[in-house]
Each structure stands twice: as structure tokens, then as C-alpha cells.
Amino acid sequence: MHAGSTPSWVIRENASTAVLLALYLREVLGIASPAELPRLRDVGRIGPESRPDVDAHDALEKQWREWWTMTVEPEEHPSSVPLELLDAYGTAVALPVSGAEALVGAIRPHAEAALAWADWAHERYRTASAARSGDSYRAYAGSIAEHEREVGRRAHSFELNVEVLPLATSGVWWIGSKTVAVTDSLRADAAAFDEAIHPIIAELA
């Protein structure tokens, strides 16, 4: 999406399968990070709640966080070592060939359920997005136009990625330098979404 030639803005909205997978696995593995991002709806931890080896879980959480930043914004956070596809996930998950051993071992048993859930959640977003038709463009263009009226100038050029996710709490959260997560229920409410996204637009534009 863009307005004008110079300056310009680009907003990409999606429910990326890779992001959905990472968040599903965050739930089933009991990963706390990122603390500010709400949990997914109707997805919980699989396996014992007790953590007999705190150090091992801390290592797992660290490796998940590194994978998360690469997943959300791969161009901003490239891996320092080559990546390798994890067979159980087809082409959906690529992890560093070294330094991610705990994560590889932990997520492999959940591949079938994780892929099925991510496919379901992505298709749910696609259906909702199609039902909104041209409203997606107007939602952002309207907020930018309002910001331009408020500040009395054209919006600065910027890029924004919007991940629409089935989170348990309604809201908008920064999950990268140019990426926000938005609850799907909030995105479905045109007036509430306009109010919620406006501060994000104002910060960038």
C-alpha cells in the first residue's frame, strides 16, 4: 500500500505462517518471551508444567528468542551461521546449523500439530481479510490522512508490517523495529482498529 510518489509509505498486513508457528511453539514449550506479548487463544503448554532443569529451559528460551527475531524480521536479524531446514516442518522452519540444538530437539515432536494449527490460523486470517475487501487499504490510508491533517504536512516515508494474530488480549504491540502484532478481534472492529493503529502511524509518519 502506498500514497503518492514521494514521500511514500508501505504497509504489509499478514498472518505469516512462520510467525504463527513460532508463537504456537512458544505456547506448547512454555516460553515466556516476549513478556509483553499476550498468549495465543486456546493454545496451552504440552507436557509437564514443572521445570526440573532450569538451565536447560533458559537455554531453550534463549534459542527461541533468537529464532523469533529472525522470523519476525529476517532482513533486520540475519543468522550469523547458515540456516538448515528442519525436515519435520518441510520448508516452514529453518534454524541455525549450530547454536539451536535445544530448540530443534524441543520443537520436532510438535511438527504435525504446529503445522496444522498454523495453516488453520493463516486460512482464518485470509478468510477474514477477504471479507473486508478494500477496507484494508482504507484503514491505513485513513489513519495516515488524519495524521497529515493533525501535523500539517505529508507523512514521512515509512514501512510497517502488521501481523494479525489470534491473541488472547486485544491490542497492538511492537514485535520488531518495523513490525507490530495486532489481535485479530481488534482488526475486525474498524473503529477500534483505527483508534489503536493511529499512534503507531503517528510514531512512524
pLDDT digits (tens, 9 = 90+) for 55-109: 888 999 999 999 999 999 988 888 888 999 999 999 999 999 999 999 999 999 9
pLDDT at 12 over 50: yes
pLDDT at 167 over 50: yes
Lowest mean pLDDT among 73-87, 126-140, 157-171: 126-140
| Closest among 42, 101, 91 to 67, alpha carbons compared | 101
pLDDT at 14 over 90: yes
For residue 183, list its beta bridge partners. 165
**In the chain, what are the helix, strand and coil shares in percent, each to the nearest 5?**
50, 15, 35
- pLDDT classification of 15: cutoffs 50, 70, 90: very high
